[in-house]
Amino acid sequence: MRILYLDCFSGISGDMCLSALLDLGVPLDLLKQVVAQLGVDILLEARQVSKKGIQATQLQARSISDQPTGRSLRSLQEILSHSSLPAAIRERVEAALLCLAEAEAGVHGTVPEEVHFHEIGGLDTLFDLAGTFAAVSYLGVEQVLVSPLPLAGGSIMTRHGLLPLPAPATLRLIKNVPTYGVPLEAELVTPTGAVLAVSLASGFGPPPLARWERFGYGAGSSDLPQQPNVLRAWLGEDTATTGAVPGTAVPDAAFDEDMVLVLETQLDDLNPELLPYLRAQLERSGAIDVLFTPTVMKKGRPGNIVTVLSPREKLLALTRILFRESSALGLRWYPVGRLKLFRTMEEVATPYGTVPVKLGYARRPDGAREYFNRAPEYEACAKLAEETGISLKEIYQAALSAARDNLQKE
């Protein structure tokens, strides 16, 4: 699966995102085509710049005709409806534009229809959204992941006066998105950058397990005191769907691989009667596995280590459950790689009825399957035991034998 990772260590804005995608190999002509499809008077210029020693692409868009000081949401929607953008791109732009307008309206106590966009009379926002979605489509990206977003302080002058940073609209847009603070006074995440991040991302977190092929650097318009003001874009193939990374798997067999997160916390003051409910809530919300490990904590107190195996995109949801349903005040999380057997299900016939059996196998270099494990489905075996009066262990062994016989015939 083609994957794009946006490494926002210095934040994200619309022009940084477009510049990084250009640096990845998106042709400038594609973005000029987007301008033509929108039917707007914008001139594009791309140049190479150096940001704290890092060579990066910087895209600049400027008007070539007089523009109003601002355009309403409805005005931009009309431009969009009369454009010749592909329908899929137009729909994504319209959704992101509405999301941005709703955030601005929520901050200023108005309705989205009364929000006005001011960069190049609002055309800059429209182009940033359309150009980014078109560039991602051009690269054949199937999934976008984004790093946690850095938030700095300070203030910015707007037509409403001096506003604190991060901008209030940005904060509304990144609700429930992982962030961290940095000791800077600068606008690292703009409202357009925020809406692009939440519109594109299927998850936020560390880089996934992947084969990275290309890297692009998109320069921001300002300079930061101690770090390069660039957005870094990584393009590659997700190895969770394309197979093992060379050198990481056993050489004579290819195993299934993926990357997940481990969440851990220690509890010594929670009523143990509540642990089964905690487990049920975590599993219902997408946890892959939940473990309780008895331990001895500080001052000799008995407690439990709660370990949760989580998909990348479930980090925030499962963290919220841990805090809500336990006495935890904090937790640790970190990414881990997994090697797994490929799995398939096979129905086998036994003297007592049909039983589904899960088969675990690896792939040999010649493509043949090498079977390692067989596991009859417990619920099916238990149901047959109830219906026939035969012991569960006998039905289980019969299913194992039938699966082994079937494999030997292959």
* CA–CA separation, 294 and 317 (whole Å): 25
DSSP H or E stretch at residue 240: helix 239-242
- pLDDT for the residue 69: 66
- Structure confidence at residue 160 (pLDDT): 64
pLDDT of residue 402: 93
pLDDT of residue 314: 85
Q: What is the pLDDT of residue 118?
A: 53
For residue 202, the Cα-to-chain-centroid distance in whole angstroms is: 4
| 0.85 surpassed by pTM | no
Q: For position 385, what pLDDT does the model report? A: 94
Report the distance separating Cα 198 and Cα 145, nearest Å.
Answer: 10
Query: What is the full per-residue pLDDT of the chain (410 aa) written as tens digits?
Result: 889 999 999 999 999 999 999 999 999 999 999 999 999 989 999 999 999 999 999 999 988 877 766 788 888 989 999 999 998 899 999 989 888 888 888 877 777 777 777 554 478 889 999 999 999 999 999 889 999 999 998 877 766 677 888 888 899 999 889 999 999 999 999 999 999 999 999 889 889 888 899 999 999 999 999 899 999 999 998 765 444 443 344 344 477 777 788 999 999 999 999 999 999 999 999 999 999 999 998 888 899 999 999 987 788 889 999 999 999 999 999 888 788 888 888 999 999 999 999 999 888 877 788 899 999 999 999 999 999 999 999 999 999 999 998 888 76
Beta carbons of 99 and 169 less than 8 angstroms apart = no
Residue (of 216, 242, 218) closest to 230 by Cα position: 218
Q: Is 52 helix (H, G, I), strand (E, B) or coil?
A: coil
Instruction: Write down all domains in the chain, each with its CATH number in brackets.
Output: 2-241 (no CATH), 256-340 (3.30.70.1380), 342-409 (3.10.20.300)
Burial class (CB in 10 A: 0-12, 13-18, 19+), 153: middle
- Kindly report the number of other CB atoms within 10 A of residue 273's CB atom: 7
Q: What's the confidence (pLDDT) of residue 113?
A: 72
In angstroms and rounded to an integer, the radius of gyration of the C-alpha atoms of the chain is 27
- Asked if 371 contacts 403 with a C-beta cutoff of 8 angstroms, the reply is no
Pairing of strands 155-158, 42-51: unpaired
